[in-house]
């Protein structure tokens, strides 16, 4: 089978491409625009794999998206490409509307054309897996049950509103045109290759650089955390075994306040790489003005995917975060190239 993965140069996408190549015999076409968040260095170890291809395409370029389907003739699509950082969505929402809404439309349109031209039995196995977030459900109070697949949408940030829009479109393309769509909504991911603007790498890298660690508000917001490889296993399971037209919520059953999480990361680093000045890293925590519209709590009820597809997270909180911190310690050149901007150098040595 040939799978078109969009956003394969990003955090989850690069882990997914690696997972598919290692755990299945599928071919993988990685469609990515290479925005600031896309980094082919995250896939350096698979570049030479004969089952892997990269195409640099912007989802907002309808003709280029169509051409990928004609030239590569995929058997399924896993759609991850998106603008994904909430803070950036507050500063420049237009990019989020273009990629997450308009780009998803172009991909759905091209996928439907392709699907309609396929012949059975290949056509019967075609799937369009739309990968989304729990942020579309809005915010929970402390004693609410976790989001389930029927929780009404209530997005609050431009990011979550754009993802909610794309989720609705994906489902509409199933209901209206019969495209074999599946949707997943997942909680916060952490693990190797996460861009250093998101909470976990920010904390690790601030510690390693001896800088102050910013925490929004009083650090009371609660998130559920899932190790990225567990998410990749879940996505592969949904693609292979999920029921067309259904949605599956994916979560780690690992709720923590941001402050507890940051302190836990500081404690891990105290053990693995003590600060040069002998201080404990958590002494560098500083509370900063809260994000506007910051949702208090997200939690996922992942019982449907456990019951129907026999998926559960394998990594627990301590082991997953231990692996993640060690990965950033052992792969300093990956994040140093990002912090310096060198990862955007083209072959002529100019920044993209
Ligand atoms: P990311 O920002 O790390 O990667 C996004 C990738 O999409 C990048 O490689 C980027 O170059 C590419 N891209 C952006 N705009 C594009 C365009 N117009 N055309 C083609 N490619 C484009 O994001 P991520 O954290 O890996 O998230 C991947 C997906 O998973 C997103 O759809 C996100 O909403 C969803 N998700 C993320 C999380 C999380 O915790 N990170 C949780 C649940 C769901």
Give the pLDDT confidence score for residue 294 in this predicted structure: 87
Give the pLDDT confidence score for residue 347 in this predicted structure: 53
pTM above 0.95, yes or no: yes
* pLDDT exceeds 70 at position 86: yes
Does 69 fall in a domain? yes
Give the pLDDT confidence score for residue 243 in this predicted structure: 98
Q: What is the mean pLDDT of residues 288-309?
A: 94
Does 247 fall in a domain? yes
Of 159, 193, 298, 328, the catalytic one is 159
Average pLDDT of the chain is 96
Model confidence pLDDT, tens digit, residues 118-142: 999 999 999 999 999 999 999 999 9
Model confidence pLDDT, tens digit, residues 221-249: 999 999 999 999 999 999 999 999 999 99
Does 274 fall in a domain? no
- Whether 159 is catalytic is yes
Does 82 fall in a domain? yes
How many angstroms separate the alpha carbon of residue 96 from the centre of ligand 1?
A: 11
Concatenated DSSP letters of 229-261: HHHHHHHHHHHHHPPTT-EEEE--S-EEEHHHH
Site residues for ligand 1, CB cut-off 6 Å: 7, 9-13, 32-35, 37-38, 58-60, 80-84, 99, 103, 131-133, 163, 186, 188-189, 195
* pLDDT exceeds 60 at position 66: yes
Q: How confident is the model at residue 351 (pLDDT cuts 50, 70, 90)?
A: low
Q: What is the CATH number of the domain that holds 137?
A: 3.40.50.720
Which residue's CA is the closest to the ligand 1 atom numbered 14? 82
How many angstroms separate the alpha carbon of residue 82 from the centre of ligand 1?
A: 4
Does 169 fall in a domain? yes
Does 334 fall in a domain? no
- Find the DSSP H helices in the chain: 11-23, 62-72, 86-91, 93-96, 104-117, 122-125, 158-177, 199-208, 228-241, 258-272, 303-309, 317-330, 332-340
- Is residue 12 within 8 Å of 34, Cβ to Cβ? no
Closest atom, ligand 1, to C-alpha of 35: 11
How many angstroms separate the alpha carbon of residue 130 from the centre of ligand 1?
A: 12
ipTM over 0.85: yes
Of 27, 32, 58, 134, the catalytic one is 134
* pLDDT exceeds 80 at position 49: yes
Which residue's CA is the closest to the ligand 1 atom numbered 1? 10
Does 52 fall in a domain? yes
Give the pLDDT confidence score for residue 293 in this predicted structure: 85
Model confidence pLDDT, tens digit, residues 164-210: 999 999 999 999 999 999 999 999 999 999 999 999 999 999 999 99
Does 108 fall in a domain? yes
Q: How many domains does the chain have?
A: 1
Domain that holds residue 15: 2-192+227-255+294-317
Of 27, 58, 135, 230, the catalytic one is 135
Model confidence pLDDT, tens digit, residues 321-340: 999 999 999 999 999 999 99
């Amino acid at each position: 089978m040939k799978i078109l993965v969009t956003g394969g140069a990003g955090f989850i996408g690069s882990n997914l491409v690696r997972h598919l190549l290692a755990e299945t015999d599928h071919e993988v076409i990685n469609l990515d625009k290479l925005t600031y968040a896309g980094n082919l260095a995250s896939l350096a170890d698979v570049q030479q794999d004969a089952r892997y291809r990269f195409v640099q395409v912007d989802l907002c370029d309808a003709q280029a998206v169509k051409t990928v389907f004609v030239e590569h003739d995929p058997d399924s699509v896993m759609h991850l490409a998106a603008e994904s950082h909430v803070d950036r969505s507050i500063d420049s929402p237009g990019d989020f509307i273009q990629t997450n809404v308009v780009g998803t439309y172009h991909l759905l349109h091209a996928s439907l054309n392709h699907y309609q031209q396929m012949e059975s039995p290949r056509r019967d196995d075609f799937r369009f897996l739309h990968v989304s977030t729990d942020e579309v459900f809005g915010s929970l109070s402390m004693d609410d049950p976790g989001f389930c697949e029927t929780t009404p949408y209530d997005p609050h940030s431009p990011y979550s509103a754009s993802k909610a829009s794309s989720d609705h479109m994906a489902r509409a393309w199933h209901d209206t045109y019969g495209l074999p769509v599946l949707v997943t909504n997942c909680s916060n991911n952490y693990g190797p290759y996460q861009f250093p603007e998101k909470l976990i790498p920010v904390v690790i890298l601030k510690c390693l650089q001896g800088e102050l660690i910013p925490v929004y508000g009083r650090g009371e917001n609660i998130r559920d955390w899932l190790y990225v490889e567990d998410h990749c296993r879940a996505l592969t399971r949904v693609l292979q075994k999920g029921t067309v037209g259904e949605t599956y919520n994916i979560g780690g059953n690992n709720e923590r306040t941001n402050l507890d999480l940051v302190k836990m990361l500081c404690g891990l680093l105290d053990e693995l790489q003590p600060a040069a000045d002998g201080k404990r890293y958590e002494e560098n925590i500083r509370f900063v003005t809260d994000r506007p519209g910051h949702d208090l709590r997200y939690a996922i009820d992942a019982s449907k995917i456990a019951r129907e597809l026999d998926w559960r997270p394998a990594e627990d909180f301590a082991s997953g975060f231990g692996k993640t911190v060690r990965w950033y310690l052992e792969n300093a050149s990956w994040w140093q190239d990002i912090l310096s901007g060198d990862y955007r150098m083209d072959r002529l040595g100019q920044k993209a």
